[in-house]
Amino acid sequence: MSRPEILYPLFAGLDTLPGIGARTARLFEGLGATRPRDLLFLLPHGGTERTPRRTIRGAELPAVLTVPVEIGPHIPARRKGGPTRVIVRDAETDFALVYFHARGDALARLLPTGQRRVVSGKVELFDGVAQMVHPDHVLREDEAASLPAWEPVYPLAGGLTQRAVQRAVAAAVARAPELPEWIDPHLLAREGWPGWRAAVVAVHAPRGPGDLSPGSPARARLAYDEVFAHQLTLALARASVRKAKGRRTAGDGHLRARVLAGLPYAPTGAQIRAVAEIAADMAAPARMNRLLQGDVGSGKTLVAFLALLIAVEAGGQGAMMAPTEILARQHFQGLEPLAAAAGVRLALLTGRDKGADRAARLAALAAGGIDIVVGTHALFQRDVAFRDLRLAVVDEQHRFGVAQRMELGAKGLQTDVLVMTATPIPRSLALVQYGDMDVSVLDEKPPGRKPVVTRLVSTDRLAEVVAHLGRAIAEGRQAYWVCPLVEESETVDLTAAEDRFAALRAALGEGVVGLVHGQMPPAEKDAAMARFVAGQTRLLVATTVIEVGVNVPDASIMVIERAESFGLAQLHQLRGRVGRGTADSTCLLMFQPPLGEAARRRLTLLRDTEDGFRIAEEDLAMRGAGDLIGTAQSGLPRFRIADLERQAGLMAMAQADARALLEADPALAGPRGQAARVLLWLLEQDRAIRLLTVG
């Protein structure tokens, strides 16, 4: 499958555009533009008013003005490189055009004395005299109509001028072909969007500031094209997973009934709904590819375990995979009582299992002697074989990408996949990151989870906080102390943690305080965690390694030092480590005054709400999409035009549209399907094109 011929002119070198040589083309690389196509999507970010007026008299200076003038005498520079002045007269007054390093003959040709020209540029007062230094435009009166009343202003890179970028973009736009329409005609009419070529022409010829806003019809249309191409790629990925033949996995419910009967509380409505959605997917012939999204403490583990029991009830096996050994161990400990209640065989398999022990477990797994296995990604090494793996649950603390999800599904021949994430993600971003999946949301807290009281405390009151901790520990309570993120350097973070550990040990007593950080060998880290879980240490000093999933029900105090150095989502995750038991819990956000505006907003929001989804929406508004989910490791596309923060609605529209198009035309063979293929090539969605070729 090769690029459609209609797009060839847009994918040629920039030096095929008039007026661009090899040197200028190299300068454009600084703007990320190497082909005419890239210039089409280099949108202006501002504009300059160029509406002509009779005179500069009465204008508030400095200002950019456009006026017809009669050219008077040239006054040459007194010294080399000094200013050459050309006196001009508009309808009411005289002023000077000023040029530095001017060549007299060139200036005489540009501004011949006695003739009329239209000049446009910034007029300023210098020693009380109005002057325009290096006018942006000097035009004959018959050319003046070519000057737009509102001239677009483009981003620049080293060595490029506005004029050079404007000319190059105009040449690229002139090359843009009429393309077949890939947007659903009803949607196009409802939104009042122009066709593709008309939109490209319009975004580069804005008529005023309103045309620069993301909501203007031409910009909204091009933003939609971008998110639609992305959602089409995800929909193709989803279709290829569903096409891979799945198996119907339906249980009779007897194991689930045992577990539910033994619970001290009833599951929430959200948990019941999620289990029903998962069960329906597993019973269908297509492969399940579902995301279970829940806030801290919303009870994802129970839902995942009930899903694993469906696999066992159907005579198969289930696997749960966690990103780290600590978490795998913890999931295992959390599931043990549930497995005992159900009477199913549960085992743990991590990279640390060696020799005969490991061999015995592998043999049991292959023979079907283990029903549910919990582990790290070691579960998917070559030597691990299952008798009949029906469901793989991935605890997605480390943001598994689409590609890894596909690999994972390949392990069990027709395994259903359930991915869990504890990071509440705003709906628009969930669609970008997980648009290839179906989503179940847990938006209720199970009964018995107590709210965590959050307070802001200045670092000046450190001694009070330590004294408070001393009293709480004397009453038998446990606490976390999270050290600040100093810089991007782990060694500096480490020093800070070790210093704080030494100070707290001196204040609170030798055996009471433990330390855990990212640079410890895994065995030491596990041992330090185990001592804390067992209650031998009462205060755990930690870097952010405890952000993910550590579960110690007795810990009821969380101190976060220099809380202003953390992001909202991270603070919310850390706070979720307490409030898991019966005791009243508190989270102290210690900050170093004075607080900047953004930091104050973050900490105040956290103090006022525990709703992870509201926090995530705010986080998106404050930080932008790329930062929120860490663009580099999330595989989040970098959109050039679409603005995820402000155009969240487009993403949902695009997902529905892309899925509907593929339902109706799975091979994209009809007229709209063929047009959509052109869009995928235009926006370089290579993965989608590969999926189509394979399909």
Is residue 240 in a domain? Answer: no
- 534 and 474 assigned to the same domain: yes
| pLDDT, position 413 | 56
Is residue 554 in a domain? Answer: yes
- 391 and 277 assigned to the same domain: yes
Is residue 104 in a domain? Answer: yes
- Please say whether the beta carbons of 53 and 65 come within 8 A: yes
Last residue of a domain, one of 190, 212, 234: 212
pLDDT band at 427 (very low <50, low <70, confident <90, very high): low
High-pLDDT (> 70) share of the chain, %? 88
Is residue 562 in a domain? Answer: yes
* Euclidean distance between CA atoms 193 and 581, whole angstroms: 54
- 491 and 357 assigned to the same domain: no
Which of 103-107, 151-155, 269-273, 405-409 bottoms out in mean pLDDT, i.e. has the lowest?
405-409
pLDDT 10s digits, 204-217: 999 888 898 888 99
pLDDT band at 550 (very low <50, low <70, confident <90, very high): low
Nearest in space to 590 (alpha carbons), one of 410, 440, 458, 479:
458
Last residue of a domain, one of 409, 442, 475: 442
| pLDDT, position 225 | 96
Alpha helices in 157-268 (DSSP H): 162-175, 185-191, 196-203, 217-243, 254-262
pLDDT 10s digits, 246-268: 788 999 999 999 999 988 888 99
Statement: residue 150 has pLDDT above 50: yes
Is residue 571 in a domain? Answer: yes
pLDDT 10s digits, 46-88: 899 899 999 999 899 899 999 999 999 999 988 887 899 999 9
Tokens 């309570």 correspond to 477
- 32 and 69 assigned to the same domain: no
- 520 and 564 assigned to the same domain: yes
Q: Taking residues 590-595, what's their average pLDDT?
A: 90
Task: Report CA 318 to chain centroid distance, whole Å.
Answer: 31
Statement: residue 377 has pLDDT above 70: yes
Statement: residue 441 has pLDDT above 80: yes
| pLDDT, position 685 | 85
Tokens 């703007």 correspond to 31
| pLDDT, position 611 | 78
- 36 and 185 assigned to the same domain: yes
Domain with residue 113: its CATH number is 2.40.50.140
Is residue 577 in a domain? Answer: yes
Statement: residue 310 has pLDDT above 80: yes
Q: Taking residues 297-319, what's their average pLDDT?
A: 93
- 63 and 124 assigned to the same domain: yes
- 315 and 272 assigned to the same domain: yes
Which of 80-84, 312-316, 343-347, 616-620 bottoms out in mean pLDDT, i.e. has the lowest?
616-620
- Indicate if the alpha-carbon torsion angle 267, 273, 277, 280 is positive or negative: positive
| pLDDT, position 244 | 66
Domain containing residue 94:
51-147
pLDDT 10s digits, 96-116: 999 998 888 889 999 999 999
Domain with residue 299: its CATH number is 3.40.50.300
- 418 and 485 assigned to the same domain: no
323 or 141: which leads in pLDDT: 141
Tokens 């695009």 correspond to 654
434 or 160: which leads in pLDDT: 160
Angle of helix 254-262 relative to helix 325-342, nearest 10 degrees, comes to 100
Give the chain's mean pLDDT: 86
Which of 355-359, 365-369, 542-546 bottoms out in mean pLDDT, i.e. has the lowest?
542-546
Domain count for the chain: 4
pLDDT 10s digits, 457-506: 999 999 999 999 999 999 889 999 998 765 555 556 567 788 889 999 99
| pLDDT, position 614 | 77
| pLDDT, position 630 | 37
Which of 41-45, 94-98, 621-625 bottoms out in mean pLDDT, i.e. has the lowest?
621-625
Statement: residue 573 has pLDDT above 70: yes
| pLDDT, position 408 | 57
| pLDDT, position 295 | 75
Give the CA distances from residue 148 to residues 153, 167, 204, in Å, rounded to whole numbers and listed in that order.
Answer: 12, 13, 11
Last residue of a domain, one of 560, 576, 609: 609
Statement: residue 269 has pLDDT above 80: yes
- Cis? peptide before 553, omega within 30° of 0: no
Q: Taking residues 313-325, what's their average pLDDT?
A: 90
* Euclidean distance between CA atoms 95 and 246, whole angstroms: 80
Q: Which two tokens stand for residue 349?
A: 């398999």
621 or 217: which leads in pLDDT: 217
* Euclidean distance between CA atoms 197 and 659, whole angstroms: 25
Tokens 């279709």 correspond to 239
Nearest in space to 100 (alpha carbons), one of 132, 142, 147:
132
Q: Taking residues 310-322, what's their average pLDDT?
A: 94
- Please say whether the beta carbons of 197 and 40 come within 8 A: no
- 196 and 258 assigned to the same domain: no
What's the DSSP call for residue 149? S
Is residue 152 in a domain? Answer: no
pLDDT band at 642 (very low <50, low <70, confident <90, very high): confident
Ramachandran angles phi, psi of 668, nearest 5°: 50, 50
- Please say whether the beta carbons of 129 and 95 come within 8 A: yes
Statement: residue 398 has pLDDT above 80: no
| pLDDT, position 84 | 93
* Euclidean distance between CA atoms 206 and 194, whole angstroms: 14
Is residue 383 in a domain? Answer: yes
* Euclidean distance between CA atoms 428 and 628, whole angstroms: 12
Domain with residue 206: its CATH number is 1.10.150
pLDDT 10s digits, 276-296: 999 999 999 888 889 898 877
| pLDDT, position 625 | 45
- 56 and 30 assigned to the same domain: no
- CA angle at 453 for the pair 451 and 458, rounded to the nearest 5°: 160
| pLDDT, position 510 | 81
pLDDT band at 632 (very low <50, low <70, confident <90, very high): very low
- 404 and 485 assigned to the same domain: no
> Which pTM value belongs to this model?
0.66
Q: Which two tokens stand for residue 591?
A: 């900050």
| pLDDT, position 496 | 76
